[in-house]
Amino acid sequence: MTDWFSKLTPDIHHRLDNLQQSFGEILDRSMDRSVRLAVTGLSRSGKTVFITSLVHQLIHGVNSQHLPFFKIVDSDRLLGTKAQPQPDLHIPSFRYDLAVDKLSANPPDWPQPTSGISEIRLAIRYKPANPVLARFSPVNTLYVDIIDYPGEWLLDLPLLDLSYEQWSEQTAALCDKEPRLRLSNTWRTFMDGVDVTQPATDETLRKASQLFTDFLMECKKKEHGLTLLQPGRFTMPGDLKGAPLLEFCPLLRIPSNTTKSGNDFYHVMKRRYESYKEHVVRKFYREHFSRFDRQIVLADVLKAFNTGHETFQDMRTAINLVLKSFQYGKNNFFSRLLNGKIDKLLFAATKADHVTPNQLPNLERFLQLMLTEANNNVMFEGVETETVALASLQCTKAVTQQYQGQALSCIQGIQKEGDKSVAVFPGEIPADIPLPEDWVDGRFRFLDFRPPHLPNVRNGVLPHIRMDRALEFLLGDKFS
């Protein structure tokens, strides 16, 4: 009897530990003492740098002079912030320490971009603003779980509402227009030679999926800058790299007659698509996306200006499609217990230091115009939204240069491809979306910059633009 009980003891302890953790999370939610913050965005929008800066500003926020609009700091109620063991032990940790190492190196470098999901938990100790609450609980703690994942994976969410046939038709329509028409030529030529009503061979299936993946990777290159690339795992596979689950592609034309056995090319591709949706997309949505409380969507609007009208339209379509996949609505006591819904949504135009300060209002307005449809939808659900132009790490400074006897507002920094500081006039952000014919080559030329030399990073100095506004919107109400 004793031996039998001793064998069960480790399992009982494990179950009790899990129960204790679950109870703790439920208690934190019921008391509004935890927030799950999703940092989302599409490729090259600056998610990794944003999270690094956000964590850094909070950890070094006590007595900070660099967060004037973050009220808990401005009112001296922030007592300290520390990283804590994360609740989801099966998720890799966000390596804030490695990111800081990159930024503080000599010469400094950008942190490695997101290649998979990661998470970091912060415990923020503070004095409540409400005098009644302060009397009963003079010191409180807010737990913030920050979740980072590749922006490419966001693009899989809309597939949950699309059948294989619908996705194929959508992709075929995209490939009828430039630049996809040209970039997809090799894949389309191969598919034209495949009889999709005949039994599929492994070689043909593999070749078709590889050529389709090559096409997506070409679309993603900087010179094209396309965003709506589905499935997202094809360009950022993570732990699925080389898995047969990624060996499928859409069809240019859906056949009307196929074999009854279902082993033809069409049916095999369709089954693989449905399997991908079930075992990758739906699983990821269920485990992560459906549990978010607050969300920030980052967008590199300047990339669209540099690349052209097609890139702009593609980015706008992609972001609006993605945002339809999230659960939005007011968070109350019961919804928090049941994992809740997103009740605050921040749209952020990144790289605000790549334009002059007088252009920041136009940058914010332009992002608002891009996301009008999505913003109206979430506001209808009672979600509080805001748009901000920010720089997670300020790489430039505003300077004035003389040009033909006139003072010209410029920015000064080290270009990404160089090692000397230069002053440039970056151009102006239009107040309204230009017409397609106005997106002429050379009209916009916003440069990329290297991170500045930061000898005091570890002591809390990390220059930024409007990170305090982002922090106040996303977390400020939790410190009341």
Asked if 120 contacts 86 with a C-beta cutoff of 8 angstroms, the reply is: yes
CA 320 centroid distance within chain: 13
Residue 146 pLDDT = 95
Find the mean pLDDT for residues 87-114: 90
- What is the pTM (predicted TM-score) of this model? 0.84
Give 135 or 32, the one with higher predicted confidence. Answer: 135
Model confidence at 19: pLDDT above 80: no
Would you state the structure tokens that stand for residue 291, as one six-digit string? 């549990």
Q: Could you report the per-residue pLDDT of 108-140, keeping only the tens digit for each?
A: 999 988 778 899 999 999 999 888 877 888 899
Model confidence at 395: pLDDT above 90: yes
Model confidence at 22, in pLDDT bands (50, 70, 90)? Answer: very low
Taking the C-alpha atoms of residue 249 and residue 233, their distance in angstroms, rounded to an integer, is 12
Find the mean pLDDT for residues 74-81: 94
Question: What is the pLDDT of the chain when averaged over all its residues?
Answer: 84
Number of residues assigned to the chain: 480
Model confidence at 23, in pLDDT bands (50, 70, 90)? Answer: very low
Find the mean pLDDT for residues 231-245: 87
CA distances from 465 to 353, 354, 395, 431, 451 (A): 7, 11, 10, 21, 14
* Close Cβ partners of 80 (under 8 Å, ≥ 6 residues apart): 62, 124, 125
Q: Considering only CA atoms, give the Rg of the chain.
A: 25
Model confidence at 438: pLDDT above 50: yes
In a 3-state reduction of DSSP, which class is residue 235? Answer: helix
Asked if 449 contacts 354 with a C-beta cutoff of 8 angstroms, the reply is: yes
Model confidence at 21: pLDDT above 50: no
Ranked by mean pLDDT, which of 38-52, 197-211, 235-249 comes out on top? 197-211
Find the mean pLDDT for residues 11-36: 53
Model confidence at 336: pLDDT above 50: no
Q: What number of other Cβ atoms are within 10 A of residue 220's Cβ?
A: 18
In a 3-state reduction of DSSP, which class is residue 409? Answer: strand
Residue 65 pLDDT = 86
Asked if 92 contacts 120 with a C-beta cutoff of 8 angstroms, the reply is: no
Element (DSSP H or E) covering residue 313: helix 309-323
Residues facing residue 411 across a β-bridge = 398, 424
Taking the C-alpha atoms of residue 411 and residue 424, their distance in angstroms, rounded to an integer, is 6
Model confidence at 76: pLDDT above 50: yes
Q: What are the φ/ψ torsions at residue 41 (nearest 5 degrees)? A: 160, 170
Asked if 122 contacts 147 with a C-beta cutoff of 8 angstroms, the reply is: no
Q: Could you report the per-residue pLDDT of 270-309, keeping only the tens digit for each?
A: 999 999 999 999 888 887 777 888 989 898 888 888 888 8
Q: Percent of the chain at pLDDT above 70?
A: 89
Model confidence at 338, in pLDDT bands (50, 70, 90)? Answer: very low
Which residue has tokens 């003891």?
9
Residue among 94, 59, 97, 93 nearest 79 (CA): 59
The domain locations on the chain are 1-30, 34-149+291-395+455-479, 162-285
Taking the C-alpha atoms of residue 333 and residue 33, their distance in angstroms, rounded to an integer, is 12
Q: Could you report the per-residue pLDDT of 156-208, keeping only the tens digit for each?
A: 888 988 999 999 999 999 999 999 999 999 999 999 999 999 888 999 999 99
Burial-class residue 231 by CB neighbours within 10 Å (0-12, 13-18, 19+): buried
Model confidence at 261: pLDDT above 90: no
Q: Write the DSSP string, 2-15.
A: HHHHHHHHHHHHHH
Residue 316 pLDDT = 86
In a 3-state reduction of DSSP, which class is residue 359? Answer: helix
Residue 371 pLDDT = 82
Asked if 473 contacts 123 with a C-beta cutoff of 8 angstroms, the reply is: no
Taking the C-alpha atoms of residue 145 and residue 148, their distance in angstroms, rounded to an integer, is 10
Q: Could you report the per-residue pLDDT of 8-18, keeping only the tens digit for each?
A: 455 554 454 44
Model confidence at 432: pLDDT above 80: yes
Model confidence at 230: pLDDT above 70: yes
CATH number of 34-149+291-395+455-479: 3.40.50
